[in-house]
Amino acid sequence: MNALITISLLALFILYLGLFKAYKALLPVTLLGLAGAFALAVSEWNSFPTPIFSNMMLFDNFAIAFSGITIFTTFLVLLLSKGYFERISSNVAEYYALILFALAGIVLMVSYHNLSMLFIGIEIMSVSLYILAGIKKRDFSSNEAALKYFLMGAFSTGFLLFGVALLYGASGSFDLEGIRNYIVSTPKPSALLYTGIILILIGLCFKVGAAPFHFWTPDVYEGSPSLITAFMSTVVKTAGFAAFLRIMLNCFAPKQEFWIPVLVTIAALSLLIGNVTAVYQQHFKRMLAYSSISHAGYMLFCVIALDGSSDNALFVYAASYSVASIIAFGVLIILQRQTGNDSFDSFNGLSKKNPFLAFTLTIAMLSLAGIPLTAGFVGKFMMFTRTLATYHTYLVVFAVVNAVIAIFYYFRVIVAMYFKPEERTELIVPAYYKIVLAFSAVATILMGIYPHFIAGLI
Amino acid sequence: METVTQTIQGVPLNHYIILSAVIFSIGVMGVLIRRNAIVIFMSVELMLNAVNLLLTAFSAYRGDPAGQVFVFFIMALAAAEVAVGLAIIVMIYRNTNSTDINVLNRLKW
């Protein structure tokens, strides 16, 4: 609760700092504020078991856990932003403020208890991101990413809202509890309800980038500045799935037999399209975009096998995916800035000149591929066991086949770094990057070896 | 206010639902078929307004103000979206002298 207020006020404060040209203070103040917001969020553990603000918000442990992980990941992304925005424009305060506003929307998205709050949270986040995607005003691909993201985002919001309106027509309430009561108490609900559920599913699948609603993802991820892509593919994706899981868990759970076949299809399509297309990519950033589609498929598993511990599985998966992606994008930013290229060939021989970069990136790739002793393995393991427990055997078999395909393109980077010698100059790694990369790599390994630290958290 | 609600209730609810669904579908088709960024944008607004109409109708029929309050939220946030969206379109127009989305083909796999 206090975390949300802190983040919103912090964003306004940052705008004032920009107004008074205190550019040196921007990053430290933002980081300090985020650390404060994180502490406030964690300190409210177990303190709001019931909805607050006239049933608008619910700051239960689910909300706190996902607020915590999104705030923390934003913190890491912002550490990477040292000196990043200054290269794009001289008005840097707005960029920090926009990221913080997006984060405020995200905190709203993970803690809503009323569909109006879900809508407002998604909009606050999306509108900030539309601008962030296009901050390179002269760069053509950044423009294109902003327009595509904007049009697709507004389009998907339309679906979400139509679904919300139909649910309201059927149940007479925007409250998650109210809709659930209607579903439970009415043996034969009207057709409006079913149409509403499908439309909300479509809207949310657009937002999280699951196939067949994924077509904007690669273009937007590739065109946006790499730092913003890092933010989108970690924080925004986590928030989207938290919102998804929350509405499914608290609202639509009694109608499982209706929407599970739909979601199984979407998850299988995401895995297939994401992995197979990623194999054909020649550029690291675009490969990461397609791999994010396939990870969206894995994360849908926790919604398919819906029960009281789905949130734990999603939390572990999102945490492992976020830290590994941060490493990948950190290395990508360094590489793009100093070589101007992000094709797989530009990784050749990296291990000789930059053993640290190569090593952390290797850990990240292993974790994304789901190799044991990394966090990614624990995440996948939890998803698969839960899905097996609900007798979706065919889906797990399909997912394992896809995980094997994924190893191919993740290992391509490792092979390029270690086994393809090439003369190259050493990349300069700023101190901030070293801290973030080292921390994320250690976190990935620790979560892989001692998963019970976070596995039973919520 | 009473008379407004009664007037709205003078038309069967199903008619409102069908009308909104038709307007919404026109909006969706517009987004999928048209090639001009501004027209696509207008189609999106059409989708949102179909939602507004539907919410108002349900709200009047149930005598519950929550639906109408939601309409205000949608209007306010749609306005914010318009401001950002038009700015993005202007930015593109400055760089390409066109608002046709077919010129946006730099990013392909």
Residue B105 is predicted with a pLDDT of: 67
Task: Please give the DSSP secondary-structure letter assigned to residue B94.
Answer: H
Alpha carbon distances (Å) from A77 to A70, A146, A433, A435, A437: 10, 20, 10, 12, 11
Report residue A299 CA to chain centroid gap. Answer: 10
Count other C-beta atoms under 10 Å from residue A89's C-beta: 12
Q: Where are the domains of chain B?
A: 2-100
Closest by CA to A438, choosing from A103, A80, A83, is A80
Mean pLDDT of A13-38: 92
Q: Structural domain of residue A138, as residue ranges?
A: 2-455
- The 10s digit of each residue's pLDDT in A216-267 is 999 999 999 999 999 999 999 999 999 999 999 999 988 888 999 999 999 9
With beta carbons under 8 A apart, name residues in chain A contacting B48.
157-158, 161
Residue B106 is predicted with a pLDDT of: 63
Comparing CB atoms, the residue among A147, A168, A218 nearest residue B104 is A147
Closest by CA to A298, choosing from A424, A225, A402, A371, is A402
Q: What band does B109 get if pLDDT is binned at 50, 70 and 90?
A: very low
Between chain A and chain B, the number of residue pairs with CB atoms below 8 A apart is 124
Residue B107 is predicted with a pLDDT of: 59
Torsion angle in degrees (nearest 10) through CA of B85, B88, B92, B94:
110
- Residue B18 class from Cβ within 10 Å (0-12 exposed, 13-18 middle, 19+ buried)? exposed
Q: What band does A424 get if pLDDT is binned at 50, 70 and 90?
A: confident
- The 10s digit of each residue's pLDDT in A106-116 is 999 999 999 99
Distance of residue A126 Cα from the nearest chain B Cα, in angstroms: 9
**Count of domains observed in chain A:** 1
The domain B2-100 having CATH identifier 1.10.287.3510: the answer here is yes
Q: What band does A149 get if pLDDT is binned at 50, 70 and 90?
A: very high
The B residues from 37 to 96 touching A (CB cutoff 8 Å) are 37, 40-41, 44, 47-48, 50-51, 54-55, 58, 62, 64, 66-67, 69-70, 73-74, 77, 80-81, 84-85, 87-89, 91-92, 95-96
